[in-house]
Amino acid sequence: MIKKLKSAVVWLAGVTLLTQVAVAALPFPWLDDDNQMPTLAPMLDQSKPAVVNIATRSEVRIQDNPLLNDPFFRRFFNLPQQQQPRTRQAQSLGSGVIVNAKEGLVLTNNHVIQRADEITVSLHDGRTFQAEVVGSDPATDVAVIRIPPENLTALPLADSDRLRVGDFVVAIGNPFGLGQTVTSGIVSALGRSGLGLEGYENFIQTDASINPGNSGGALVNLRGELVGINTAIFSPNQSGNVGIGFAIPSNLVKQITDQLLEYGEVRRAYLGVQMQDITPELAQAFGIEANRGGAVVTNVIKDSAAEKAGLKVGDVVTAVDGVSLLNADNLRNTIGLLMVGQTIQLDIIRDGKAKTLTAKVTEVQSRKIQTGDVHPKLRGATFGDIEESSPAYGRVQGIMLYSVERGSPAWVAGLRSYDIVTSVNRQPVTNLEQFKLLVSNQSELLLNIVRDNQAMFLLLR
């Protein structure tokens, strides 16, 4: 099972032999002055102060039995019509990396701070600060938070494109809430995607020990430069670390961070095609090699970058900027990680002949509405169609709540950012226009929502 390193609970009972042992025989470049033994200590002395522990607190609404939201059921059993929603306090732990000491900017994972009511950052020297969210991007699981810039240490960013399989790396984080912990390993693979963790994936794989609570922590090279943000592990049968961890490359993190700081959101590139994988049968039909990777174009959106570039239905896209594609998901992932306005070369096969097209990708145009005018209980919420960048795209039918103002009626009712509304008053929701019709002129709203892969009901009255 591949899973995000969601949260770490401070649980020490039954923990045995958790000491992390560095492999002393590896040819690390530093020697201890006294014993002339290989050591990473000098590099870590510079790097560890830039890695922080993150604790979040949030109020979680307890899901009631759906029958309790049925007015007929409540009248039949003489239950009070007005009922205060039941809530509980949830806490989680993660990690973060200071990347700008002057501005107090800290990088972490979106899933570490998502829906948190309070974020506390603890520094290596024992100081603690309350943090505010600058911006986040669920599609790549990157978030930027800010703390007071008081005598901070930042990690420099490395060029992750220069990483090679076999390079030594060190993971620094807060596994299981034990406190700052350092583990070492190598880069096991590059460009991992198709794991189903994020909307867009381009992971570094490492065997440096990573565990729950390491989310948002640093993956550094032997120069003490940040090469990635630790995000997920492969853990069969929930057995913990087995030597397969994943980190978001620093170049991708920088690209996302720059957009969050400039725009407050990520402006994602858009080509304007619908695609499907090449199967052996399709390969034969299109006259290409049976084992050739790529994606066949099934639809070209009018006035899109793809149409302007000359792409046609039936074209097989085999490479982007000279990098071969495996399948349709690989093409979508590649385009989604580009900068808006970037010009790319598309290698295609049309009617059995190879061609090269040039396309200038544009920005995704998504429909979003603020729903305060539609229903007073939804004031403060912004809804929209589920974008292709969302992991829920194509898997959940409904509309997405993209933002909700803290303290607004929608917030008080229990709605949170990235909730997906799948039905209103037991009527399925498929698009924004239908949603507006279903909620208008209704005194009560019974919303079925999906949150963190779990379904629940919310009654707004």
Check which CATH number belongs to the domain holding 232 and give it: 2.40.10.120
Q: Give Cα 209 distance to the centre of its chain.
A: 21
Residue at a domain's end among 245, 266, 287: 266
Active-site residue 111, yes or no? yes
Whether residue 8 is predicted with pLDDT greater than 60 in this model: the reply is no
Residue 366: its pLDDT value, please?
64
Same domain, 210 and 75: yes
Any idea which residue has 């993190």 for tokens?
Answer: 253
Question: Mean pLDDT lowest for which of 69-73, 263-267, 382-386?
Answer: 69-73
| Lookup: tokens for 66 | 């759906």
Same domain, 131 and 249: yes
For residue 134, the one-letter residue type is: V
d(CA 402, CA 396): 15
Catalytic residue among 47, 58, 111, 375: 111
Active-site residue 390, yes or no? no
Q: Which domain holds residue 206?
A: 1-6+39-266
Rg of the chain (C-alpha set) = 24
CA–CA–CA angle 326, 332, 338 (5° rounding): 110
Residue at a domain's end among 303, 334, 363: 363
Same domain, 48 and 121: yes
Q: How many domains does the chain have?
A: 3
Same domain, 168 and 283: no
Q: What are the tens digits of pLDDT across the range 351-365?
A: 888 899 999 988 776
The verdict on pTM exceeding 0.95 is no
Closest among 208, 216, 24 to 107, alpha carbons compared: 216
Q: What are the tens digits of pLDDT across the range 84-113?
A: 555 566 677 889 999 999 999 999 999 898
Catalytic residue among 58, 184, 215, 304: 215
Whether residue 23 is predicted with pLDDT greater than 60 in this model: the reply is no
One-letter-per-residue 3-state SS of the chain: CEEECCCCCCCCCCCCCCCCCCCCCCCCCCECCCCCCECCHHHHHHHHHHEEEEEEEEEEECCCCHHHHCHHHHHHCCCCCCCCCCEEEEEEEEEEEEEECCCCEEEECHHHHCCCCEEEEECCCCCEEECEEEEEECCCCEEEEECCCCCCCCCCECCHHHCCCCCEEEEEECHHHCCCEEEEEEEEEEEECCCCCCCCCCEEEECCCCCCCCCCCEEECCCCCEEEEEEEEECHHHCCCCCCEEEEEHHHHHHHHHHHHHHCCCCEEECCEEEEECCHHHHHHCCCCCCCCCEEEEEECCCCHHHHHCCCCCCEEEEECCEECCCHHHHHHHHHCCECCCEEEEEEEECCEEEEEEEECEECCCCEEECCCCCHHHCCEEEEECCCCCCCCCCCCCEEEEEECCCCHHHHCCCCCCCEEEEECCEECCCHHHHHHHHCCCCCEEEEEEECCEEEEEEEC
Same domain, 387 and 353: no
263 by Cβ neighbours in 10 Å (0-12 / 13-18 / 19+) ranks as exposed
Whether residue 20 is predicted with pLDDT greater than 60 in this model: the reply is no
Residue 25: its pLDDT value, please?
36
Same domain, 233 and 306: no
CA–CA–CA angle 332, 350, 293 (5° rounding): 45
Residue 30 lies in a domain: no
Residue 189 lies in a domain: yes
| 400: Cβ contacts below 8 Å, ≥ 6 apart | 383, 384, 385, 386, 387, 390, 392, 418, 419, 420
Give me the torsion for CA of 275, 280, 282, 285, rounded to 10°.
150
Mean pLDDT within 50-77? 66
Same domain, 282 and 256: no
Active-site residue 375, yes or no? no
Q: What percent of the chain has pLDDT over 90?
A: 25
Residue 28 lies in a domain: no
What length does the chain have? 461
Model confidence at 337, pLDDT cuts 50, 70, 90, reads: confident
Residue 3: its pLDDT value, please?
60
Furthest C-alpha separation in the chain: 81
Residue 254: its pLDDT value, please?
92
Residue 65: its pLDDT value, please?
53
Residue 12 lies in a domain: no
Q: What percent of the chain has pLDDT over 70?
A: 80
First to last CA, the chain: 40
Q: What are the tens digits of pLDDT across the range 196-255?
A: 677 778 899 999 988 888 889 999 999 999 999 999 887 666 656 677 899 999 999 998
d(CA 416, CA 410): 8
* Top-ranked range on mean pLDDT: pick from 50-64, 70-84, 98-112, 366-380: 98-112
Same domain, 240 and 282: no
Catalytic residue among 47, 92, 122, 141: 141
Closest among 255, 322, 316 to 287, alpha carbons compared: 316
Half-sphere exposure (CA, 13 Å, Cβ side) for 298? 9
Residue 230 lies in a domain: yes
- 306 touches 318 (CB < 8 A): no
Same domain, 338 and 379: no
CATH of the domain at 336: 2.30.42.10
For residue 89, the one-letter residue type is: Q
Strand-strand pairing, 343-350 and 316-320: antiparallel
CA–CA–CA angle 195, 196, 198 (5° rounding): 105
Closest among 24, 38, 65, 325 to 191, alpha carbons compared: 325
Same domain, 240 and 358: no
Same domain, 85 and 183: yes
Mean pLDDT within 306-315? 90
Residue at a domain's end among 307, 338, 363: 363
Same domain, 247 and 282: no
